[in-house]
């Protein structure tokens, strides 16, 4: 069994890298851009290069699914880069390939707001994928970069799933019917993604959980079982959305970037501007084993648990990151 997390945005440190190893985490898709420009994203890659140099016994850069197997064999964690916004490509489709060459493997087409490519989930109207969005999806398909619609609105997500020639992902979200947060996905959206071969990672971020920080492990696992009863297990995994050790001020950057002078905390209210407390059964990377145990207790067999904890992500990575043969 591989252990793969479909998304984290932590305040990275040696402590967290060691916790990944204690938890047996083989691979993590990490956010390296929220609102950054191309140049600023390159600076973030430079920082990761320094960490790879400093902690070669703990982490290394992942580029293909084979790196997940290599990580497991060598007792390390493979780090796969992704963006939660298309801002790193600015208005230049050529930067898709440049960033893929630098290691980017996921890119969200929008982050809450309307972008040049698609509509975010906080907008009141969703006109769907834009003209540029259609072209960028084609280019992402060509080079091997996954279309991620975690923060996108319903129509945009369904259109992306249908027009993409390769399966897309919702790396971190939960079913809207279980907890009606704006970021959570309605059944028709989930169906469009998984029936086209895509993947969805279940989120552990409290604003996406029923009961938020007080959500129980059993309730979370029963939610997974409910979805699996309708859609099967092979297109689902974990996308924890772990934001460990960040100061609360980082939420302001995530939510507001440079696009507004006002405070916009999204699903967290103005009265709760900081990061919410994680549920007691998942505080950091050392606690993935509790999720696996919880899934087994609600009736998943060994192979299904293995799939949900990482084997499904492994298969998805295997078919997603290579360039299309011409």
Query: 124-128: long-range contacts at Cβ-Cβ below 8 A with a sequence spacing of 24 or more?
Result: 126/153, 126/154, 126/155, 126/156, 127/155, 128/155, 128/156, 128/159
pLDDT, residue 268, reads 46
Residue 268 and residue 207 in contact, taking contact as beta carbons nearer than 8 Å: yes
Q: What is the pLDDT of residues 55-65, one digit of tens each?
A: 999 999 999 99
- CA separation, residue 64 to residues 48, 70, 234, 241, 326 (Å): 17, 10, 20, 21, 19
Tokens of 42: 């390159």
Among residues of the chain, what percentage have pLDDT more than 90? 89
Please indicate, yes or no, if residue 303 is contained in any of the structural domains. yes
Q: Is it the case that residue 269 has pLDDT exceeding 50? A: no
Tell me if 282 is assigned to some domain.
yes
pLDDT for 270 beyond 70: no
In a domain? residue 162? yes
Domain hosting residue 209, numbered range: 4-320
Residue 198 domain-assigned (yes or no): yes
The pTM for the full model equals 0.96
Residue 96: pLDDT band with limits 50, 70, 90: very high
Higher-pLDDT residue of 252, 201: 201
- Domains contained in the chain, number: 1
The answer as to whether 325 is a domain residue is no
Tokens (6 digits) for 120: 């975010």
Identify the CATH number of the domain in which residue 252 sits: 3.20.20.140
Residue 161: how many CB atoms within 10 A of its CB?
24
Does residue 326 lie in a domain region? Answer: no
- For residue range 31-78, list pLDDT tens digits in order: 999 999 999 999 999 999 999 999 999 999 999 999 999 999 999 999
* 222, pLDDT greater than 70: yes
How much is the pLDDT for 197? Answer: 97
């Amino acid at each position: 069994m591989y252990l793969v997390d479909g998304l984290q945005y932590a305040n990275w440190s040696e402590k967290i890298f060691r916790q990944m190893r204690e938890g047996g985490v083989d691979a993590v898709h990490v956010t390296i851009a929220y609102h950054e420009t191309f140049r600023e994203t390159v600076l973030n890659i430079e920082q990761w290069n320094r960490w790879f140099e400093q902690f070669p016994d703990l982490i290394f850069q992942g580029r293909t699914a084979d790196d997940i197997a290599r990580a497991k064999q060598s007792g390390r964690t493979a780090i796969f880069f992704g963006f939660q916004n298309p801002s790193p490509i600015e208005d230049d489709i050529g930067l898709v390939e440049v960033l893929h060459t630098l290691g980017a493997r996921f890119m969200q087409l929008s982050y809450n707001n309307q972008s040049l490519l698609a509509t975010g989930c906080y907008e009141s109207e969703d006109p769907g994928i834009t003209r540029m969005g259609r072209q960028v999806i084609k280019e992402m398909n060509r080079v091997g970069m996954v279309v991620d619609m975690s923060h996108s609105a319903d129509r945009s997500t369904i259109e992306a799933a249908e027009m993409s020639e390769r399966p897309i992902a919702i790396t971190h979200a939960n079913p809207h019917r279980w907890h009606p947060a704006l970021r959570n996905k309605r059944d028709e959206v989930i169906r469009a993604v998984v029936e086209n071969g895509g993947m969805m990672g279940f989120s552990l971020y409290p604003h996406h959980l029923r009961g938020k920080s007080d959500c129980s492990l059993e309730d979370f696992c029963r939610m997974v079982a409910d979805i699996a009863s309708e859609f099967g297990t092979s297109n689902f995994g974990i996308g924890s959305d772990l934001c460990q050790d960040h100061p609360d001020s980082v939420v302001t950057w995530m939510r507001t970037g440079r696009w507004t002078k006002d405070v916009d905390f999204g699903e967290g209210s103005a009265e709760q501007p900081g990061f919410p407390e994680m549920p007691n059964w998942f505080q950091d990377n050392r606690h993935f084993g509790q999720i696996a145990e919880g899934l087994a207790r609600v009736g998943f067999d060994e192979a299904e648990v293995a799939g949900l904890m990482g084997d499904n992500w492994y298969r998805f990575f295997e078919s997603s990151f290579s360039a299309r043969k011409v």
